[in-house]
A and B are shown apart, each in its own frame.
Chain A
Amino acid sequence: MFRVDTGSGVPIYRQLVQQVRRDVMLGRLRPGDQLPSVKEVVDSLSVNPNTVVKAFSELEHQGLVVRRQGIGTFVAASPSMTSVPVAPRLLGSLARWVDRARQDGLTPEQIRMLLEVALDEPAASQGDRRAAGGVA
């Protein structure tokens, strides 16, 4: 269920945390679902076990999962994020926007960049500066 992208600016443990958060937010992981064991994640990704332990501890600290000694790690009964579920309407309007961007001939990478610009620099006029320097 996990993938890691080495060479990104995001540490591996945080990538694992984000993937679980995303899956819980989208309902792919439901309360009570069991996460793979540390050993399974280590074997499938060839990542350092300390990194996986750190990710699981962080998820537990965030209240997203609970660990039951000797049994495993499970998605918490009421993970803190699901109290604010993503409104389907929001996802729908984003999907329509993405469709429109595709029709305009934008690549997935360009769409991602636009999203990042919108998140980091809400005023669209400021986006130009970043785009000018950001393309290496």
Chain B
Amino acid sequence: MSTALRCAGLGHRYGRGIWGLRDCNLDVPAGSVVALVGPNGSGKTTLMSMAAGLLPASTGTVETAGGAPAQRLGRIGFVAQDAPLWPRLRVADVLEIGRCMNGGFDTVLASERIQRLAIRPRARISALSGGARAQVALTLVLAKKPELFLLDEPMANLDPLARRDFLGSMFEACTETGATVLYSSHAVAELERICDYLIVLRTGQVRLAGDIDKLRQQHRVICGPDGWPDGGGWQVISQRSTAGRATALVRCDNGAAITGPGLQDAAPTFDELVLGYLDGGAAALPEEALA
């Protein structure tokens, strides 16, 4: 299977100061819908900006659609957070700019989508609601028909119906052209439906990356008397104690159940998997980055 996004030792340092992203190794299979999850400041936007060719690498390399992002701009569709568009322009002008600047821009798809969403083509961007503005930006990127979508919190401003509509359009694009989607969001609960590949970032580093169904098979949630995880030889990702019972997310690559006196073993929910890695100790897990 070909790779849509490959990062090797990728890092970006802001000025002489902090690393927005460091030592990032990723190999995202083409056709995946990738959930990019992490707290604010964990490096999601830095990674997206580098994949979009907007931010140079301080260390390492990034390849999108088989080459340097700057040479692949025609195949990448990037919607930044808050969908920035020129506020003074009218919707129709924005679409016209999209057509002029992108060969193969699907004008019919764009105008039909705007019409279906009841957005007036004559309206200025500044007069639109946050949700409608986001829809214009998403329409631009859908009509560009990219191989790789980079969507930074695309649904943050959308109401539930608009979300469903946008997801339908995005999934259609994936089915039609086999496009890959990198999708960042804080709404962990809705990512389980949307995504099949997961990347968890924390403090600028990849904590976990891989096919979601495989990752779920490789982890268990174990609950037992306080202190049970100590010295068991298992890889505890995170743990919490309440009322004398300790619950931990544990990695066990062979999928074998963990048994012991008083231990309850369960498959992790998607939220438990994600939150476990967001929450877990500061110890870096270098082998995760190569998954």
Mark A residues whose CB is within 8 Å of B: 4, 6-13, 38-39, 42-43, 45-51, 54, 129-130, 133-134
Determine the chain A residues whose CB is within 8 A of the CB of B167 once the complex forms: 46
Mark B residues whose CB is within 8 Å of A: 31-33, 163-164, 167-168, 171-172, 174-175, 189-190, 192-196, 212-213, 216, 223-224, 245, 262, 264, 266-271
Give B225's nearest chain A residue, CB to CB: A133
> Judging by beta carbons under 8 Å apart, are B267 and A49 in contact?
no
> Judging by beta carbons under 8 Å apart, are A49 and B171 in contact?
yes
Give Cα A39 to B169, complex, Å: 11
Give Cα A38 to B172, complex, Å: 11
Q: Tell me the smallest distance from the CB of B258 to a CB of chain A, in Å.
A: 15
Q: Tell me the smallest distance from the CB of A127 to a CB of chain B, in Å.
A: 12
Task: Give the A-B contact count at a CB cut-off of 8 A.
Answer: 67
> Judging by beta carbons under 8 Å apart, are A51 and B196 in contact?
yes
Pairs across A and B, CB under 8 Å, 19 listed: A6-B189, A6-B190, A6-B193, A6-B270, A7-B192, A7-B269, A8-B269, A11-B212, A12-B192, A39-B172, A42-B171, A46-B163, A46-B164, A48-B174, A48-B194, A49-B171, A50-B196, A54-B196, A133-B224
> Judging by beta carbons under 8 Å apart, are B168 and A46 in contact?
yes
Q: Tell me the smallest distance from the CB of A48 to a CB of chain B, in Å.
A: 5
> Judging by beta carbons under 8 Å apart, are B266 and A43 in contact?
no
Question: 9 more A-B contacts (CB under 8 A) besides A6-B189, A133-B264?
Answer: A7-B269, A9-B266, A38-B175, A42-B168, A42-B175, A48-B195, A50-B33, A133-B223, A134-B264
Give Cα A39 to B167, complex, Å: 12
Q: Tell me the smallest distance from the CB of B255 to a CB of chain A, in Å.
A: 14
Q: Tell me the smallest distance from the CB of A63 to a CB of chain B, in Å.
A: 21
- What 5 pairs between A and B have smallest CB-CB spacing? A9-B267, A6-B192, A50-B196, A47-B193, A46-B167
> Judging by beta carbons under 8 Å apart, are B267 and A10 in contact?
yes
Q: Which of B32, B190, B213 has the most CB of A within 10 A?
A: B213
Give Cα A49 to B193, complex, Å: 10
Give Cα A6 to B245, complex, Å: 26
Determine the chain A residues whose CB is within 8 A of the CB of B216 once the complex forms: 11
Q: Tell me the smallest distance from the CB of A21 to a CB of chain B, in Å.
A: 18
> Judging by beta carbons under 8 Å apart, are B269 and A9 in contact?
yes
Q: Tell me the smallest distance from the CB of B273 to a CB of chain A, in Å.
A: 10
> Judging by beta carbons under 8 Å apart, are A7 and B262 in contact?
no
Q: Tell me the smallest distance from the CB of B94 to a CB of chain A, in Å.
A: 27
Give Cα A118 to B190, complex, Å: 33
Determine the chain B residues whose CB is within 8 A of the CB of A45 once the complex forms: 193
Q: Which of B167, B171, B190, B267 has the most CB of A within 10 A?
A: B171
Give Cα A62 to B189, complex, Å: 30
Q: Tell me the smallest distance from the CB of A130 to a CB of chain B, in Å.
A: 6
> Judging by beta carbons under 8 Å apart, are A48 and B196 in contact?
yes
Determine the chain B residues whose CB is within 8 A of the CB of A48 once the complex forms: 33, 171, 174, 193-196
Give Cα A8 to B190, complex, Å: 13
Determine the chain A residues whose CB is within 8 A of the CB of B193 once the complex forms: 4, 6, 12, 45-48
Q: Which of A4, A10, A129, A133 has the most CB of B within 10 A?
A: A133
Give Cα A11 to B218, complex, Å: 13
> Judging by beta carbons under 8 Å apart, are A39 and B164 in contact?
no
> Judging by beta carbons under 8 Å apart, are B267 and A50 in contact?
no
Determine the chain A residues whose CB is within 8 A of the CB of B174 once the complex forms: 48-50
Give Cα A45 to B163, complex, Å: 12
Give Cα A43 to B196, complex, Å: 17
- Of the residues B32, B164, B224, B271, contact of A7 by C-beta under 8 Å: B271
Give Cα A50 to B180, complex, Å: 11
Give B165's nearest chain A residue, CB to CB: A46
Give B268's nearest chain A residue, CB to CB: A9
Give Cα A128 to B267, complex, Å: 21
